[in-house]
């Protein structure tokens, strides 16, 4: 997140040491009170609470926030909008002692559990030694289970509130990361829900709602007064998906200097879609702008996209924060417009940046006002946005709903069970030759487990982690089912030598079955470090080939990574019987691996990213932002929506120990939309054959001109478990545009639901779709239109025609 963090993390991550030791020693515990507006607290400060109207609960949040801001002088105001220690990258508001206002660190993280990153939250003492570490989002996304995502958010926020009660946590968490995995080399893919805009948006809605929603108060006529459990933040806005890319030559591209050249079509259709869903449907209370430039303009200084889109068009109820040191990046590294530090500070404030994770606001904002570059009312507006969020959180007044939460609510048995369930749901079975899996504990009593991740612990919790409640490694998990013989096979993930392979071979020769645990870690993919290729490091391939060749029983390869690994030879190999993608599965990951191998759980995860062939890295540079193929340059396109080449595995691929069949209950669907007589049809759609007789006179209508109703496309899918084992299935509903429409996606995921079915059981899954959102087409000029004609919905090999009729009103 922060440039200083980026320089620190590689040293820690390369040695795979936990950041916990640093956090415990270096992060103070600033929270020694329950809430600001406590009469006893004010009395202890020799202040009288009736003197401060911002503590008057009878007033609206806006009036109270404005009163607080109006009570400050300009110097005090500036010190509340960023860190006050020159050169540090925290976001600590200094507080105003004369007003009884304490300091507050805005920066906490909760990507997949309460984290120590940022300093707003820490671990220590007898009460808060750890918190539940869930799978990384790339794993959770593979479950394609929106209910699970919301439950994870709820559990994390409960633990965060309990830690806040004990003085160890803040209330503002800068999660989730909802950037798209446009390119599989991106180092932060593990932090995200994958490559699909709709999936990322639905993930954002549910994870944010889980974090923020107070039960029974999920909606309000005045959203700025809606209480929050904790505050979430959707990041990094926008088109941020390059961290540090090295080419085969000497050229490097990093996130601080990168200028993402993006068409408006791709912005509307892909990059902005998850953020729009997060703000409008998730009602997130914060958005973070990114380091990169977009078409020459730094993201945090882009008033059109920040103030114009996030605040005005999408109606954000909250604050906008910078990625850490973004203003410094604009001034020192991007040298945008040759601005001075003061001018850069003015640019981002005018653009709508409410909070600086850094120290530029604290140092330069006062002078920026005095020089006349911004108005003091601009500063006031930012502060009011920030304080309204803290009021909604109960930072000023407390929140009795959560007062009883304590250490027993952190790392509870139920929380760890949910982490284990999430790990199981997010694992993907890629190969199962001859139904080699599941193994029977009665038959396979001695298991060899080899490879650099056989004893995985810290690697399973990835980055932006906290201190986990415990680790269950693959070895630990397998021991619950069989006798285990462990041989490392490699000298770590780098696997620099093959000298350990011989011992692994001996283990495999003597075992009833062999598990080979391989993959990557944060040395190879992380923040500030992108991948250059898809091959396993060092001698890992050699380890798999050699051990699989001598194993007397079934061979199961388990892969830890965020996505694409070149395993095409092992998919074809007769020596490798099964392959499981385990991702970064969190603290319970080893148990989930074992449960799947031995059939205690039937896998049902689906890949949230396309697994490209190894040559993809030579076909297209990581910096090409365009999603559609570029025939002139020979670029094959990106993601399942536009990629026109071959794959190792498609987006949405995943096997099960049973089989499912689908059928649409509806024979077809008709959607009629009235086009107001004062509106024009949009008749500029490009079709492959201009002479097509079935192109309607009214080709399409602007979505903004239509009366759009949620659920106006109602679809029922009958799902049957036709196999012999109980299991869960992710029912994935795709849409295709009318035939011949040039530039349309190959297909687009519009809805999904995870269902559990006993062997032989059938269920009907209902999908309620908004045609304006899910069947719309984005034109080359970035117009969102609803085409008239026959659209197609797909589930598995089943198709359903959906007829969109645009009716001109008379």
Distance from the Cα of residue 105 to its chain's centroid: 23
Measured in residues, the chain has a length of 810
Output the CA torsion sign for 794, 797, 800, 806.
Answer: positive
Query: What does the block give as tokens for 581?
Result: 């993608």
Write out the H or E segment, with its range, that includes residue 140: helix 137-142
> Is-catalytic flag, 283?
no
Residue 419 Cα distances to 15, 121, 413, 580, 756, angstroms? 26, 21, 10, 19, 18
Q: Which of 385, 417, 390 minimizes the C-alpha distance to 318? A: 385
User: Do 602 and 728 touch, CB atoms closer than 8 A?
Assistant: yes
Query: What does the block give as tokens for 334?
Result: 């991007």
Q: CA–CA separation, 319 vs 313, rounded Å?
A: 15
Write the DSSP assignment of 729-796 as a string of letters: EEEEEEEEPSTTBTT--S-EEEEEEEEEE-TT-EEEEEEEE-HHHHS-EE-TT--EEEE-EEEEEEET
Q: Which of 598, 597, 620, 602 minimizes the C-alpha distance to 610? A: 620
Specify the residue for token string 């120590």: 116
Specify the residue for token string 């549910």: 206
CA dihedral of residues 487, 516, 559, 141 (deg, nearest 10): -100
Query: What does the block give as tokens for 45?
Result: 């400060």
Q: Which of 736, 718, 747 minimizes the C-alpha distance to 801? A: 736
Query: What does the block give as tokens for 360?
Result: 């530029």
List the catalytic residue out of 241, 266, 323, 530. Answer: 323
Residue 350 Cα distances to 300, 347, 417, angstroms? 10, 5, 47
Q: CA–CA separation, 108 vs 58, rounded Å?
A: 30
Q: Which of 464, 658, 477 minimizes the C-alpha distance to 582? A: 477
Write out the H or E segment, with its range, that includes residue 430: strand 428-432
Q: Which of 445, 600, 432, 596 minimizes the C-alpha distance to 513? A: 445
User: Do 609 and 563 touch, CB atoms closer than 8 A?
Assistant: yes
Look at strands 446-450 and 513-519 and give their pairing.
Answer: parallel
- The residues carrying an active-site annotation are 323
């Amino acid at each position: 997140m922060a440039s200083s963090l980026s320089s620190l993390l590689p040293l820690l991550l390369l040695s795979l040491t936990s950041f916990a030791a640093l956090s415990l020693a270096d992060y103070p515990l600033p929270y020694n009170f329950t809430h600001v507006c406590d009469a006893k607290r004010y009395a202890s400060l020799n202040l009288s609470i009736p003197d401060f109207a911002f503590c008057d609960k009878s007033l609206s949040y806006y009036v109270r926030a404005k009163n607080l801001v109006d009570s400050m002088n300009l110097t005090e105001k500036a010190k509340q909008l960023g860190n006050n220690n020159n050169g540090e990258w925290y976001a600590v508001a200094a507080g105003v002692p004369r007003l009884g206002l304490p300091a507050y660190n805005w920066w906490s993280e909760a990507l997949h559990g309460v984290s120590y990153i940022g300093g707003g939250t820490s671990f220590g003492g007898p009460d808060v030694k750890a918190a539940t570490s869930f799978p990384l989002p790339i794993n959770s996304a593979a479950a394609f289970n929106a209910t699970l995502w919301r439950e994870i958010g709820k559990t994390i926020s409960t633990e965060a509130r309990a830690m806040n009660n004990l003085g160890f946590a803040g209330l503002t968490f800068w999660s989730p990361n909802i950037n798209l995995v446009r390119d599989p080399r991106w180092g932060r893919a593990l932090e995200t829900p994958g490559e699909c805009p709709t999936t990322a948006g639905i993930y954002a809605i549910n994870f944010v709602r889980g974090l923020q929603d107070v039960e029974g108060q999920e909606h309000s006529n005045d959203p700025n007064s809606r209480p929050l459990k904790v505050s979430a933040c959707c990041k990094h806005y926008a088109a941020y998906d390059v961290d540090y890319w090295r080419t085969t030559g000497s050229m490097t591209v990093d996130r601080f200097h990168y200028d993402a050249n993006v068409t408006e079509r791709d912005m509307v259709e892909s990059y902005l879609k998850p953020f729009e869903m997060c703000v409008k449907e998730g009602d997130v209370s914060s958005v973070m702008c990114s380091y990169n430039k977009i078409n020459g303009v730094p993201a945090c200084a882009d008033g059109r996209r920040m103030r114009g889109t996030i605040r005005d068009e999408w109606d954000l109820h909250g604050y906008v924060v910078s990625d850490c040191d973004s203003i410094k990046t604009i001034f020192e590294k991007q040298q945008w417009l040759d601005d001075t530090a003061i001018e850069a500070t003015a640019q981002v404030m005018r653009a709508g940046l409410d909070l600086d994770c850094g120290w530029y606001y604290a140092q330069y904002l006062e002078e920026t006002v005095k020089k006349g570059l911004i108005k003091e009312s601009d500063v006031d507006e930012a502060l009011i946005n920030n304080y309204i969020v803290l009021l909604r959180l109960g930072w000023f007044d407390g929140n009795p709903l959560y007062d009883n939460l304590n250490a027993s609510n952190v790392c509870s048995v139920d929380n760890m069970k949910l982490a284990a369930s999430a790990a199981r749901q997010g694992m993907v079975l890629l190969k199962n030759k001859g139904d080699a899996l599941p193994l029977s504990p009665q038959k396979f009593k001695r298991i060899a487990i080899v490879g650099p991740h056989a004893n995985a612990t810290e690697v399973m919790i990835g980055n932006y982690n906290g201190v986990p409640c415990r680790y269950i490694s693959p070895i630990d998990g397998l021991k619950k089912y069989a006798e285990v013989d462990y041989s490392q096979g490699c000298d770590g993930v780098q696997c620099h030598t093959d000298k350990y392979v011989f011992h692994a071979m001996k283990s495999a020769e003597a075992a009833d079955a062999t598990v080979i645990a391989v993959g990557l870690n944060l040395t190879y993919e992380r923040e500030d470090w992108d991948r250059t290729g898809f091959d396993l490091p060092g001698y890992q391939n050699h380890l798999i080939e050699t051990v699989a060749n001598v194993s007397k029983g079934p061979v199961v390869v388990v892969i830890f990574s965020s996505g694409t690994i070149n395993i095409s030879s092992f998919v074809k190999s007769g020596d490798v019987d099964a392959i499981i993608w385990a991702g970064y599965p969190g603290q319970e990951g080893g148990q989930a691996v074992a449960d799947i191998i031995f059939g205690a759980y039937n896998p049902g995860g689906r890949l949230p990213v396309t697994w490209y062939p190894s040559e993809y890295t030579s076909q297209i540079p990581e910096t090409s932002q365009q999603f559609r193929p570029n025939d002139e340059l020979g670029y094959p396109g990106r993601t399942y929506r536009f990629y026109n080449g071959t794959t190792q595995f498609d987006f949405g691929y995943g096997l099960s120990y049973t089989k499912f069949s689908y059928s649409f209950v509806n024979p077809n669907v008709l959607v009629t939309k009235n086009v107001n007589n004062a509106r024009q049809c949009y008749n500029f759609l490009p079709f492959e054959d201009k002479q097509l007789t079935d192109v309607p006179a009214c080709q399409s209508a602007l979505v903004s001109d239509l009366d759009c109703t949620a659920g106006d496309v109602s679809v029922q899918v009958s799902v049957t478990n036709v196999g012999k084992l109980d299991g869960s299935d992710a029912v994935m509903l795709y849409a295709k545009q009318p035939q011949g429409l040039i530039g349309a996606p190959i297909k687009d995921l519009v809805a999904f639901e995870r269902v559990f079915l006993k062997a032989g059981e059938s269920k009907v899954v209902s999908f309620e779709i908004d045609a304006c959102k899910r069947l719309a087409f984005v034109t080359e000029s970035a117009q969102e239109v609803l085409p008239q004609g026959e659209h197609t919905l797909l589930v598995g090999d089943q198709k359903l025609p959906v007829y969109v009729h645009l009716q001109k009103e008379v």
